[in-house]
Structure 1
Amino acid sequence: MNRVVLTGMGAVSACGLGSDALWAAVVDGQSGVRPVNFSNISNQRVGQAAALSSETLEALGEELAHRMRDPVAVYAVRAAREAVAQAGLEADDFGETCGVIIGSGFGGAKTLDDNYMAFGVESKMRLDPMAIPKIMNNASASWVSIEFGATGPLYAPSSACSSGSQAIGLAYQMLKAGAIERCLAGGSEACLVGGVFRVWELLRVMTADKNRPFSKDRNGMTLGEGAGIVVLETLDSAKARGANILCELVGYGTNSDAGDLLRPNPERASACMQAALRDAGLNPSDVGYVNTHGTGTVANDVTEVCALRAVFGEDLGGVRVSSTKPVHGHALGAAGAIECVVAVQALRHQMAPPTINFNEVDPKIGLDPVANSACAFDSRAVMSNSLAFGGINASLIVARFDG
């Protein structure tokens, strides 16, 4: 089996363009959550989301006007360009030996929303003739493959909030097995449109206040958007071209609850984490930091901490635990990929970013996370968890590259 290394990463988020902007915001606890208003929601209850800033939208302006691309594909392409540039890939590094695996929960949400409004509300018969290719969930992956001429396998997982993590995990498995030499993998989401936002409001899982994962006074999640893309390669391929290796992806676990669509199962979540540890050949004590799914909903936080205790021990064995969603929002299909980028940065800097907005330990959970300010750790590995609606769990483990 091949060893799999990470040589590049890119991000688009409410924190700005680039993985460095994302890391600076999460480690400093500077939230990208800002006011949002949707003209087609007459009784909007929640007034904020981790939306891209006006400066970021302006920087992406020309690409967002592309008649063939929904914003979800624009975010993916932009993040992929950053990852490819950091990896130092050239034209000859793509082709048949390079795959593209990019997940999304909603696909072209803006195009879909715009056309539904035009047809259903305004009774327009002339709609966007490119709507179908822009809406398709594979559009982000397809545009990234076109951008770089990557003609290897292409997949577009749509597994709710685990889409990005599963995309990276699938790429890891294919590289490990020798099916490809490198892969552009991650997730993209551009879901902050009226129709999507309204149905999330109706589900009653979003907070109208600040997102406070694990805190006693938590009352819901905050939606976000963006993309996270990483370049994964076999160690042999990376060494052959003299690549700068950022870290090694050593473990991946995924499973399903086969139970309730909306309520996570702590036993299945812990089994997922344990599978990732077995795959990595690591003990729980080898992991110094866990970037949790940590949505800030009552149900998720209770079950996730229960799962963490089943893996790391009742006192969590000294592992640092936090959620960065109050900074970059819950970006749904892109969440796991964005948080994988955060996890890699945390590993490289040996710094656990904080759970901002945390006020008080909930006695029902008993967890005192890394709260409101970053905390140093000394460890060779970190874990990133995704626990999606539909009972889809995914855990990734990245470790220092030891040569």
Structure 2
Amino acid sequence: MTINQSRRRVVVTGMGAVSAAGVGAQALWAAARDGVSCVRPLKLARPYQGRIKIAAQVPDFDASAHIEPELLPYCDPFTQYAIVAADEAVAQAGFARKEIGGPRTAVVIGTGIGGAHTIDDTSYHEYAEGVRPETLAVPRLIPSAAPTTLGMRYGAKGPTFALASACSSATQAIGEAFEMLRAGRADRAVAGGAEACVINGSMRAWEALRVLTPDFCRPFSMKRNGMTLGEGAAVFILETLESAQARGATPLCELAGYGTTSDAFDPLRADVEGPARCMRLALESAGIEPSAVDYLNAHGTATYANDITESEAMRAVFGDRPPPVSSTKPIHGHALGASGGLELCVTISALRDQVAPPTINFVEADPKCLVDAIPNEARKMPIRVALSNSFAFGGINGTLAVKAM
């Protein structure tokens, strides 16, 4: 079969989320739009002696309210979050559970760590208690647990895999699924990211890097002093426009372009050239000029150097007047491999509601971050084209471009 790639436009027909704002994409968007921080006092299962006492954890999550009891023993929290987010996305797209599957449906889920809770519990039982690991520990902890579980849940028999590239995992997972649809390797995809990383070991490890704030995450602002760890999942239903139209679906937006690059520079420090080239590739993929971009959801970690680097990269692409920018990480935390999915959910919602969410906790503009950071209050504005950035340790970059239909 010969496929004309130029005609294979890709659309988003459903999205779902689990985040520090609770269950649901709408809950996440309401918190982001209204500038409501979901960072709370840290809650862990075992005693914790660390200095950082806050995180953006999913509140009051009862997996048994959403997932069948026979499936739960196989599911680490990161898989649980992925299932709940994916079920919401499938329902919004208008599919019954098994209708979306088949040999032309792909499943790609990004995660930075995978089953962190299972790894933590298994290690504690072994080293502290001398207790044998549970029988199903391995199926729970492997990063591929989320996509394979979703594949079985929906009967999806196309390409199915996990993608692990730290903080760019979800963005690359969505982007690679987009490329599969565009190239004709699949007609539909369940794609996104999931992470449940707020555990004792992770908190202490991130604290050791000195990148966690003890109080307020303030991207692009003076007095910023780091990020807040978060968790959750966001999953999207991608379809070719032809497939969506054939079944009478109404797309949420067009997923128009994707760029990904590597800095090949440093394990921890970001570079300007790699992120700038990534944004240019996304625009080229979408056939969009930089001047057409109305809004950009930034990676925006609120670490001192990274915000400066991302600001310089945006100015390298867009010139002296980049589009209005916000980082929503002060709302939902930095959810590592899930962050790009949560932020794409916010970006699509901004596009649909014509409201750019704020960068909260902003106190004063940093002259080294010469961007319009939409400080503290949402901005009603026309948004036809938007970008979402994710930049990871090791210099792995991902950018997605979305357009209104």
TM-score w.r.t. the length of structure 1 is: 0.96
Number of equivalent positions = 398
Q: 1:39 to 1:168 in 2, by over 3 A?
A: closer
1:262 aligns with 2:268: yes
Give the aligned residue type for 2:288.
L
Establish whether residue 329 from structure 1 lines up as the match of residue 333 from structure 2: yes
> Which letter does structure 2 place at the counterpart of 1:100?
V
Q: Within 2, Cα distance between the matches of 1:61 and 1:7?
A: 23
The one-letter code of the counterpart of 2:393 is F
- Partner of residue 157 from structure 2, selected from 148, 151, 168: 151
Out of 373, 386, 402, the position equivalent to 1:398 is 402
| Per-residue CA distance 1:3-55 (angstroms, 9 max, x = gap) | 10110000000001110000000000011110014465553100000001126
Equivalent residue number for residue 107 of structure 1: 114
Which residue does the alignment assign to 1:361?
365
1:23 maps to which of 20, 24, 29? 29
Which segments of 5 or more consecutive residues in structure 1 lack a partner in the other structure?
A: none
Equivalences for residues 165-180 of structure 1 within 5 A: 165-180=171-186
Residue 379 in 1 paired to residue 392 in 2?
no
Q: Name the aligned partner's letter for residue 15 of structure 1.
A: A
Cα deviations by residue, 1:94-131 (Å, 9 ceiling, x for unpaired): 1101110001001000000001011112222x221111
1:3-402 to 2 correspondences below 5 Å: 3-38=9-44, 40=46, 42-54=48-60, 59=65, 66-90=72-96, 91-124=98-131, 126-316=132-322, 319-401=323-405
Q: Give the deviation of 1:367 after TM superposition.
A: 3.3
- Cα distance between partner residues in 1 of 2:121 and 2:138: 12
Contact (CA 8 Å) 1:11, 1:22: kept in 2 or not? yes
Distance in 1, Cα, partners of 2:125 & 2:86: 32
**TM-score in terms of structure 2 length:** 0.95
Any idea what SS the aligned residue of 1:180 has?
A: coil
**Deviations 1:312-369, CA, capped at 9 Å, x for gaps:** 11122xx110000000000000000111111110111111100010001112223341
Aligned partner letter, 1:377:
M
Aligned residues: CA RMSD = 1.6
Distance 1:305 1:367 in 2: 6
Whole-Å separation in 2 of the counterparts to 1:364 and 1:64: 54
Is the CA contact (8 Å cut-off) linking 2:231 and 2:335 kept in structure 1? yes
Query: Which runs of structure 1 show a deviation greater than 4 angstroms over 4 or more consecutive aligned residues?
Result: 39-42, 55-65
Aligned-partner Cα distance in 2 for 1:330–1:139: 22
Q: CA deviation at 1:197?
A: 1.3
Could you tell me whether the CA contact under 8 Å between 2:324 and 2:372 is conserved in 1?
no
- 2:100 touches 2:154 (CA, 8 Å); kept in 1? no
Per-residue deviation, residues 170-228 of structure 1 (Å, max 9, x unmatched):
01000001111100000000001111111111111100011111111000000000000
Q: Secondary structure at the match of 1:233?
A: strand
Instruction: Check conservation: 2:388, 2:401, Cα contact below 8 A.
Output: yes
Query: What is the rounded CA distance, in whole Å, between the counterparts of 2:350 and 2:102 in structure 1?
Result: 32
Contact 1:64–1:71 (CA<8 Å) still a contact in 2? Answer: no
**CA–CA separation in structure 2 for the residues paired with 1:138 and 1:181:** 22
- Deviating more after overlay: 46-55 vs 169-178: 46-55
> Shift of the alpha carbon at 1:60?
5.4
Q: 8 Å contact 1:64–1:74 — kept in the other structure? A: no
User: What residue identity is the alignment partner of 2:115?
Assistant: G
Unpaired runs of 5+ residues, structure 2, are: none
Alignment partners' CA distance in 2, 1:231 and 1:285: 29
SS in 2 for 1:76: helix
Distance 1:56 1:206 in 2: 28
Partner AA of 1:328 in structure 2: H
- Cα–Cα, structure 1 residues 110 and 39, in superposed 2: closer, same or farther, change >3 Å? closer
Q: Secondary structure at the match of 1:102?
A: strand
Please tell me the residue identity of whatever aligns with 1:332.
L
